[in-house]
Structure 1
């Protein structure tokens, strides 16, 4: 194991690790109690990354990242040297739980579905509450997905690799995938009698302070006096608007 992997993984230049969940930029003071866990139930291109950074910025709601993504869990397990995935998640909780006692996780449906039958992991996760983020404009969401897939620019600071090429079939495929994922979350919550707190992407963009205040109220922590910086910016450009308008026009003429 390298020196960087010993102890807290990724310790060093926090500036270069701002977007690396394995670095120490998201670490909290070591937490020794039993955390309260909330899960951000999300979908790709729904604004969950921005929401997670807003909540992290409160200093009270952990550092909600994709910890239960199976590949991420495997990386954490290798770096921390824990014997099981459940023990690995416990170790992550110790370093990513806020002094308030809250630990946050962000998960798209497939990421959650991949671990929901792992009884040991779920026993450790044991969510006390759920934040569901959704995006009203599924066409815009699918356009964003296709552009990100083509350019590999998944977050606002990523450098785009090439110019995107309009693909109506890919947009349609994205819309259907989002509808399927949203239905899966619907079924999960309904069958378990869970009423999550809902964040709508478009409303978060319009009033991020209100979004943060509402989540803080839901999780019973004080609303920060100063709104944290979201850490990311909206990626949509004129290309997104052009593709969306073109897709809607073509769909209406079919």
Structure 2
């Protein structure tokens, strides 16, 4: 099983057999990574996948994943229970770990109960998890800038050993309105996760992007221990890397100057 980011029919391959484990296993430990855009969830997910001991946590509640599943199966309508059970049978590691990664807007879309509420099925789904981990980013201006850059360039991940073409970044215009809108989106989604977890008394652990990026080894071991995987002393290097470049820093500095921070 190898996670790839280039040269593929992206969602079809992510939901297809390429990422399945060689043998099917029944999960006895389920976990959820609750995220908002640009908080390091891809970085963490790729590390967990590379261990081969923490399932294959991807955005299975993403509409793009569901549409790709319908296409590959030749179906017109999704049966969410069947879909999730099918994924569990294929994406559970030999030690019984199955994980899912989900942004708030994806969760609220799939389990929309009307008037901003979440259906009981959504509450039950997360309550049924053995571990819930909330991912967040302390520097939300940098997070909003990162979301702006990824949205404009359509470059969401960089392969760890790949060369980075800087040309799309050099021509990025400074757009304070767009960055402000993304900042509002990030803050709103994060508050919605926190309110939902507190309202429904769902226990969770938290990990910041900064801790994961700056203390990768220690943070990875901590998360693996939360998942009951304690025999990995040297976590594998992630298959993707931080998308750091001076143009993001330039946009962040311009934004802070613009708002007078």
Class of the TM-score when normalised by the shorter of the 2 chains: 0.7 to 0.9
Q: 1:195 Cα deviation (Å)? A: 2.6
Q: 1:139 Cα deviation (Å)? A: 0.5
Length-normalised TM-score, structure 1: 0.84
Deviations 1:28-84 (A, max 9, x none): 133342442211100111111111011112211101101111231232133245762
Count of aligned pairs between the two proteins: 243
Classify 1:132/1:58 alpha carbon distance in 2 versus 1 (closer, same or farther; 3 Å): same
Residue of structure 2 in register with 1:58 after alignment: 51
Q: Root-mean-square deviation (CA), in Å? A: 2.9
1:71 pairs with 2:64 = yes
CA distance in 2, matches of 1:241, 1:250: 14
Deviates most, 91-100 or 124-133: 124-133
Instruction: Report the 3-state secondary structure (helix = DSSP H, G, I; strand = E; otherwise coil) of the residue aligned with 2:132.
Output: strand
Higher relative contact order (CA 8 A, sep 6+): 2
Residue of structure 1 in register with 2:146 after alignment: 144
Length-normalised TM-score, structure 2: 0.82
Equivalent residues of 2:144, 2:182 under 8 A apart: yes
Equivalent residues of 1:18, 1:25 under 8 A apart: no
1:91 pairs with 2:99 = no
CA distance in 2, matches of 1:131, 1:14: 24
Equivalent residues of 2:25, 2:92 under 8 A apart: no
In structure 2, list runs of 5 or more residues that go unmatched. Answer: 113-118
CA distance in 2, matches of 1:29, 1:235: 32
Classify 1:160/1:124 alpha carbon distance in 2 versus 1 (closer, same or farther; 3 Å): farther
CA distance in 1, matches of 2:153, 2:48: 28
